[in-house]
Chain A
């Protein structure tokens, strides 16, 4: 008994000694990393290189690489070049948070651009917000613009669901009919799309017969179709993303849904159409931020497409490639305009960035740094009439945006 008491005391003493000495040693041994203002501008780029959106992630990386190259080829910032630090966030918000913390603390990233998932971007934004680092998000979300998540260091290059869904609603409802059924993925992004659609649709006299919520990651939609068919709507509005969208279109086709109603999607994904082909997508109308086919009418798009093709061996930029490009390009343009990488000055400069970069006029709204930009209404193109293998959509309409079509600043919780 005595020995165990002694053991315990000894153990405690040793513990304190060990702990204390290691802290002291630590303080001495660990030198403060000299903040060498290295002559490089670092852009941290967390994207889901592995996981369900790997294809989209590869596209944004290509776009970002082009932006970096253009910046460097043009001389950079007085000779200071830019560097892209790509990291895999594994489509996991906590992983993304860790990567972002490391990018900022260890890799000394000056700015962060990225993410392809709504949950991930909010997590990244929380980290950058805390550390007062600029974050330009290239992922769809309504939430990131809201006052609770937003900070003056938050920028949103990508369209949000409200804009995308609204544009598609205004195009489609007058043409197709007022009775609609929603098939919505049961998560924040799906709800936001449905809400954006309903807001725009209400003004057009839309009648919602049902809002059917499916679990995220559903692989079999067959159980939904009998009811959808029984409801006899004019339009089926499919509010989902990625594989969910791909599979729901395919199966809707199998069930002959399109024979009885039109299908529209607030956001139409390019990768899904590339993989599955025209048949499943035929007749479906949707929205997107960018399609390379507008080069015929938009000179800036032609310039962008040509640059992209020459860097990436004949590949045309897709929706996500364009986002990667714009997200990084605008941050670097702001750095150049500000003449420095100092965050506060770049925030001011970035807020003022505007112009016709690749798709027509884009500017950042002051209260929430949302990039106000056009939405393209597209539909699938049959290979028979396509110019080449990558010509998968035709643009049937373009809706230009201004502040009035966005959710108002006060609605988002920002001071007026």
Chain B
């Protein structure tokens, strides 16, 4: 196989686009774990719900951009309802219980979606403006994927701003290091946690919407996402935003290049990476409690 510079460069860009989705799902999961110490096994289900909410909103409005605003809000709202009524009663019982509850919740969410929309899946197209391919110097590349890389960067920047530059973000980061501090300061911890869970699931839903034009929409679409999100979060370090970003992009590029040379190993390479990372750095690459790292 002829390895031209163009081919390598193209593979790198596809890796980054692939990594963008990984980063988005990883960040949502990592946020929730970092602050709430909850492993959300329904994370993939929220991803899927986001895509279906997108289908619904698009059917009503015909406008992809409205979907981009509505989907994270609606998905986040669902997430907050889940936190308030299903997850909150479990605080203090150890990390196993929310994990198990969200495991069951994922089943429920998938089946409810099947009941509402049917089992066959739904089509979803990128908006006209984003369709087609452009010449990026090294070859033709789908415009939508370039958009995806751009949007992900914007979302991450917004998240960073939120965490670093706002008062609420400060509270969140303080709470990540020591929840007791918040209570001592008289801050309502429950509200903080509710919001974070909403943000985490909202981002997952948005990721689902963004993935929909590429992968279509089906009730099972969240299942592989869950595993991928875990790989990202664990490799990057639970609770580390920077770690999730680094890991997401790393995994995206690794998978992309594995596909080039030994495609059968593409999926396996993710797990091998996770296993190796954990064996040598048991807390992940950037792992420690606390959100910026």
Contact = CB atoms under 8 A, between A and B. Distances in A.
Contact of B263 (A212, A229, A277): A212
Interface in B259-274: 259-260, 263-264, 266-268
B267 A226 contact: no
Nearest to B262: A213
Interface stretch (B28-36, B82-90, B120-128, B197-205): B120-128
Given A223-B256, A230-B2, A230-B7, A213 B263 contact: yes
Contacts of A247: 214-216
Most buried by A among B142, B256, B259, B266: B259
Given A227-B1, A254-B133, A254-B144, A220 B264 contact: no
A254 B146 CA distance: 12
A256 interface: yes
A274 B216 CA distance: 13
Given A212-B263, A220-B215, A223-B256, A52 B145 contact: no
A219 B228 CA distance: 11
A157 B86 CA distance: 49
6 smallest CB-CB distances across A and B, nearest first, come from: A223-B259, A54-B119, A226-B10, A215-B267, A55-B120, A223-B256
Given A186-B264, A222-B14, A255 B123 contact: no
Given A214-B263, A215-B263, 16 more contacts: A210-B1, A213-B263, A219-B215, A223-B257, A223-B259, A223-B263, A227-B260, A230-B7, A243-B220, A246-B121, A247-B214, A251-B214, A254-B133, A255-B140, A275-B216, A276-B123
B235 interface: no
Contact of A276 (B216, B221, B257): B216
- The interface residues of chain A, by DSSP majority, are classed as helix
A275 B120 contact: yes
Given A52-B220, A276-B123, A223 B7 contact: no
Interface of A: 51-52, 54-55, 58, 186, 210, 212-215, 217-220, 222-227, 229-231, 243, 246-247, 250-251, 254-256, 271, 274-277
Contact of B119 (A55, A231, A256): A55
Nearest to A246: B216
26 contacts: A52-B218, A54-B120, A186-B263, A214-B263, A214-B264, A215-B263, A215-B266, A219-B215, A220-B18, A220-B214, A220-B215, A222-B142, A223-B11, A223-B15, A223-B18, A223-B257, A226-B7, A227-B1, A227-B260, A250-B216, A251-B214, A254-B142, A254-B145, A255-B140, A256-B133, A276-B123
Nearest to A229: B139
B122 A275 contact: yes
A254 B214 contact: yes
A207 to B, nearest CB: 15
Contacts of B61: none
A54 B118 CA distance: 10
B120 A274 contact: yes
A47 to B, nearest CB: 13
A213 B123 CA distance: 26
Nearest to B8: A226
A214 B122 CA distance: 24
A164 to B, nearest CB: 23
Contacts of B267: 215, 217-218
B144 A224 contact: no
Contact of B218 (A210, A225, A227, A243): A243
B17 interface: yes
B4 A230 contact: yes
